[in-house]
Chains A and B, each alone.
Chain A
Amino acid sequence: MADDAMLIARVVGSGDRAAFGQLVQRHQSSVRACLRRLCGGNDALADDLAQETFVLAWRKLATFRQEAKFSTWLYRIATNCWLADARKTREVLLGDRDDDIEDSEDNAMNTGALHARDASRGSTLKLDLARAMLTLSDGERAAIVQCYDNDLSHQEAAYVLDCPVGTVKTHILRAKKKLKLAMAGWEQESDA
């Protein structure tokens, strides 16, 4: 299977759409997951932003200079798309997220699929964590998502967020402080 660099060379060299299609298939899951987390559960918006991310990547691929991994470059574009959208529709995002979470909770209860104790516990933990993530600022949430969900180093996260490494560290420290406060009830359970 061709690696990313070979596919990129084919796209840049001859505008090979099939090669770009392979790149999309390879990276769609991580980019969409990252955006879903950033969008606080608004999956439709996240997928729209993911599509915008790949279209931008297609247009700008010739400017990609391989100083980071291709996936990291995609996260950078995705984060910028999300930030631009969040600035435009901040009120809508904040208003809708609780409803989304409540809907998910209702659905989970109605389907009865999560009756097993462990599954239910895991689901509640994820909902609590999703709620707690909403208390973070844009920068803090983005730093947590990049470093924990996407497994990026501080340096890579700084590249994605277009800020100094020190700022990423500060964002993470502050975010963890807020998350620990919001998730305090889960600390004893995780110790047990």
Chain B
Amino acid sequence: MTRLQSGAGPVQGPQDDWLDTMLRNARPPAIDDGGFAARVMAALPAAAAVVAPAWRKPVVATLWTFALIGIALAMPGAVLDVSRDAYRVFTAYPVSIAQLAVAVVLAATAMWTATGMALRSQLAGER
């Protein structure tokens, strides 16, 4: 992620004109807290919307993968039986290409809608 270049204003140095100097000299002085922070703290909602840290998802996914591999190694027969039965159930109900296409379209619509809503709420959050 590229961090924004920080700097001290737009023009400084020999190009500075009288207005630049005037604007810089007219900077407002520091404002005393005067109970402001306490008012803000009192106005905060009861609980912050604490979002899980970024590392949580990959760690949980990795743990699940290890757990599934462990089960498969511990009970190879059971895993094979479950897989065979799942395959049988799936093949017992043959689907046409049209049905498959509808399912794909529905899944894609749901996925893009969810992505759009997530992006929108994230952008609204940044504003």
A interface, CB within 8 angstroms of B: 11-15, 17, 20-21, 24-25, 28-29, 32-33, 36-37, 47, 50-51, 54-55, 58-63, 65-69, 72, 76-77, 80, 125-126, 129, 144, 147-149, 151-156, 159, 162, 169, 172, 176, 179-180, 183, 186-187, 190-191
Min CB gap B46→A, angstroms = 10
Min CB gap A131→B, angstroms = 12
Within 8 A of A (CB), among B1-25: 1-10, 18-24
Inter-chain contact A55/B19, CB cutoff 8 Å: no
**A21 partner residues in chain B, CB cutoff 8 A:** 37, 41
**B48 partner residues in chain A, CB cutoff 8 A:** 11, 15, 17, 20, 58-59, 61
Inter-chain contact A55/B28, CB cutoff 8 Å: no
Min CB gap A184→B, angstroms = 10
Binding site secondary structure of chain B? loop
Inter-chain contact B31/A28, CB cutoff 8 Å: yes
Inter-chain contact A67/B10, CB cutoff 8 Å: no
Inter-chain contact B122/A63, CB cutoff 8 Å: yes
Complex CA–CA separation, A148 to B32 (angstroms): 21
Q: Does B30 contact A (CB under 8 A)?
A: yes
Q: Determine which of B1, B18, B31, B47 lies in contact with A67 in the assembled complex, contact meaning CB atoms within 8 Å.
A: B1
Inter-chain contact B19/A183, CB cutoff 8 Å: yes
B interface, CB within 8 angstroms of A: 1-10, 18-24, 26-33, 36-37, 39-41, 43-45, 47-51, 53, 122, 125-127
Q: Which residue of chain A lies nearest to B27 when distances are taken between CB atoms in the complex?
A: A149
Cross-chain pairs A/B with CB under 8 angstroms, 17 sampled: A13-B53, A17-B44, A20-B41, A25-B37, A33-B28, A33-B30, A33-B31, A51-B40, A65-B1, A67-B4, A68-B4, A126-B26, A148-B23, A149-B27, A152-B9, A153-B8, A156-B4
Inter-chain contact A58/B125, CB cutoff 8 Å: no
Complex CA–CA separation, A29 to B2 (angstroms): 28
Inter-chain contact A62/B23, CB cutoff 8 Å: no
Inter-chain contact B1/A156, CB cutoff 8 Å: no
**A20 partner residues in chain B, CB cutoff 8 A:** 41, 44, 48
Inter-chain contact A62/B9, CB cutoff 8 Å: no
Inter-chain contact B9/A147, CB cutoff 8 Å: yes
Inter-chain contact A66/B7, CB cutoff 8 Å: no
**Chain A CB within 10 A, most for which of B6, B39, B43, B53:** B6
